[in-house]
């Protein structure tokens, strides 16, 4: 009974109606996700947006990672817990509390550094890929090792590595001078 004497059911919708709504929400989510991926997150839009839309594009395409900030916050929470909890534990077991303060903080720090190391490797690899792409690096023979030229003479015979005078070698992408045995251009990073 409510205050006004009228009985209201605590269940606004029966279970079957809730399941139908959840099914519709799932269907709309799939359609919306696919539409956003192929329109807004298209590669042609990579540097097109500025301001809020640029930040949203970077966030949705995972150019901006939040995990490092979240891990820092979790580390600080865990370190505070180990220190404060260890201090309170000292009242019942001095050695246990000391072990929690010192050992708990060391283990927490090592686990955090390991996770951050993986994130840094991922970020550096992503940055290296962006740099190579922006400098015109394209791997000509990505998967077929049999079709790769075996020697520099084969490539030089095609004229792509000798400069205009025919003396020495130059990068086919940026034209910088390269050594005869260089695998990558020291100026732009293109594969030679």
Instruction: Specify the pLDDT at position 163.
Output: 47
Q: How far apart are CA 77 and CA 70, in angstroms?
A: 11
Q: Are 57 and 51 spatial neighbours (Cβ–Cβ below 8 Å)?
A: no
pLDDT mean values, one per 10 residues, the chain (192 residues): 50 77 94 94 86 89 83 95 95 94 96 92 85 71 49 43 57 78 76 74
Instruction: Specify the pLDDT at position 179.
Output: 78
Rg, C-alpha atoms of the chain: 30
Locus of tokens 């279970």: 15
Q: Are 174 and 135 spatial neighbours (Cβ–Cβ below 8 Å)?
A: yes
Which tokens hold the place of 153? 């003479």
Structure pTM? 0.51
């Amino acid at each position: 009974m409510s205050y006004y004497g009228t009985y209201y059911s605590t269940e606004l919708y029966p279970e079957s109606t809730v399941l139908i709504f959840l099914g519709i929400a799932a269907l709309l989510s799939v359609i919306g996700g696919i539409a956003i991926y192929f329109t807004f997150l298209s590669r042609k839009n990579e540097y097109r947006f500025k301001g809020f839309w640029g930040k949203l594009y970077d966030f949705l395409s995972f150019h901006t990672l939040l995990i490092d900030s979240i891990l820092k916050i979790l580390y600080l929470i865990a370190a505070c817990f180990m220190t404060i909890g260890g201090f309170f534990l000292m009242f019942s077991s001095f050695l246990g509390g000391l072990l929690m303060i010192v050992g708990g903080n060391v283990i927490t720090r090592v686990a955090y550094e390991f996770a951050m190391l993986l994130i840094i490797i991922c970020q550096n690899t992503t940055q290296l890929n962006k740099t190579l792409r922006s400098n015109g690096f394209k791997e000509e023979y990505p998967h077929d090792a049999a079709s790769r030229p075996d020697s520099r003479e084969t490539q030089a015979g095609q004229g792509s590595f000798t400069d205009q005078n025919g003396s020495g070698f130059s990068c086919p992408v940026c034209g910088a001078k390269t050594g005869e045995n260089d695998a990558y251009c020291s100026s732009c990073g293109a594969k030679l």
